[in-house]
Amino acid sequence: MCATEKERWLPEATCVGGRRLHPLCFLRSGIRKTRLTRFPVLRVHSQAFEDPIVWRFAKMGWGISRLIGVKAAVLLSVAYFFHGLGMTVLSLPLVYVSMIALLVSIASHPSIDLPLLLGKGSNGSFPMWSWIMFSPFLLFIHLFVLLRRFVKNEPLYTEIADGVYVGGWPSSVERLPPGDPAVIDCTCELPRSSTISENSYLCVATWDTRAPQPSQIESAVRWALRKRSQNKAIYVHCAYGHGRSVCVMCALLVALGLAEDWKAAEQMIREKRPSISMNSLHRKSLEEWAKHLLTPSKKSGESDVSSVILSDYTRKRH
């Protein structure tokens, strides 16, 4: 086949990770040889291979609800298969795990959004009933987060401004940023480390790939500003430091007068932590929060946030 003929099999714009591929790459990967001129140009970004699985599905409009729902369906199918073979001892635990996954899938759906289901308290601990009932989900998440740290070449936390950090779940005191920081925890599925003082801890319980409510963002910002006035460092974290924690950090940077608005704050964070990945739900919450934000006080580094947002949220909840 001549060079001109080869070019017709693979357009110049077709690339993976910024590199042009030889047509044989498609054959080796199991993709049938087809004249690509009939189809739209294919562009694949290398970052797609670096994002955690949950975020890949979130970008496709899935999020944790559908992902865990698929997991429940698969487990239930396997349980049914074992039951058909007469292996009831194996099928019953799988049925239980699938039912827990289904419950989490429903509670994490955007129309319901009930992180309190898991029972995480304001001090960051889980009651015994939660550990017993939701142990399949809680242990799975716990292990997944820890294992991911061994395979991802990414710092656990990043300093965005002097004494202001954003990042992933600190499983121990050694995982915390320096300076004995006050911690804002944006997870509902991971416990507070016992080494973190309750006096320097705030829980903003939120499902993965979901967003804190505007009132929660405001409460977190005000709490952080009080801690900053006491010369405390601030660490805002979620599971990986990509979504929920970044959402709160954007608001905090605006309140501190370090960013003009949350969009500028997002760009500021992205420059120092390129792996962040806020979705439409995070941005919607920030937009709602920003509607009630008044002019920041540059002298004190604090912002005057209207209490209307709290009263509106209270009415909606009741």
CB 197 within 8 A of CB 280: no
Tell me 78's DSSP state: H
Which residue pairs from 42-51 have beta carbons closer than 8 angstroms and sit at least 24 positions apart in sequence? Answer: 42/13, 42/14, 43/13, 43/14, 43/15, 44/15, 44/16, 44/17, 45/17, 46/16, 46/17, 46/18, 49/17, 50/152, 50/275, 51/275, 51/277
What pLDDT, on a 0 to 100 scale, did the predictor assign at position 79?
81
CB 173 within 8 A of CB 225: no
pLDDT tens-place values along the chain, 318 residues long: 444 443 333 333 444 444 444 433 433 334 333 333 333 333 334 343 344 444 444 443 457 888 888 888 888 888 888 878 888 888 898 999 999 999 999 999 999 999 999 999 999 999 999 999 999 999 999 999 999 888 888 999 999 999 999 999 998 888 999 999 999 999 999 999 888 999 999 999 999 999 999 999 999 999 999 999 999 999 999 999 999 999 999 999 999 999 999 999 999 999 999 999 999 999 999 999 999 874 344 444 444 444 444 444 444 444
What are the domain boundaries of the chain?
Answer: 3-49, 53-112, 157-294
What pLDDT, on a 0 to 100 scale, did the predictor assign at position 57?
45
Task: Give the Cα separation of 204 and 111 in Å (integer).
Answer: 19
Can you identify the CATH homologous superfamily of domain 157-294?
Protein tyrosine phosphatase superfamily (3.90.190.10)
CB 234 within 8 A of CB 184: yes
Instruction: Specify the pTM.
Output: 0.74
Using the CB atoms, write b or e for 105-132: b if 16+ within 10 Å.
bbbbbeeebebebbbbeeebebeeebee
User: Terminal CA-to-CA distance of the chain, rounded, Å?
Assistant: 71
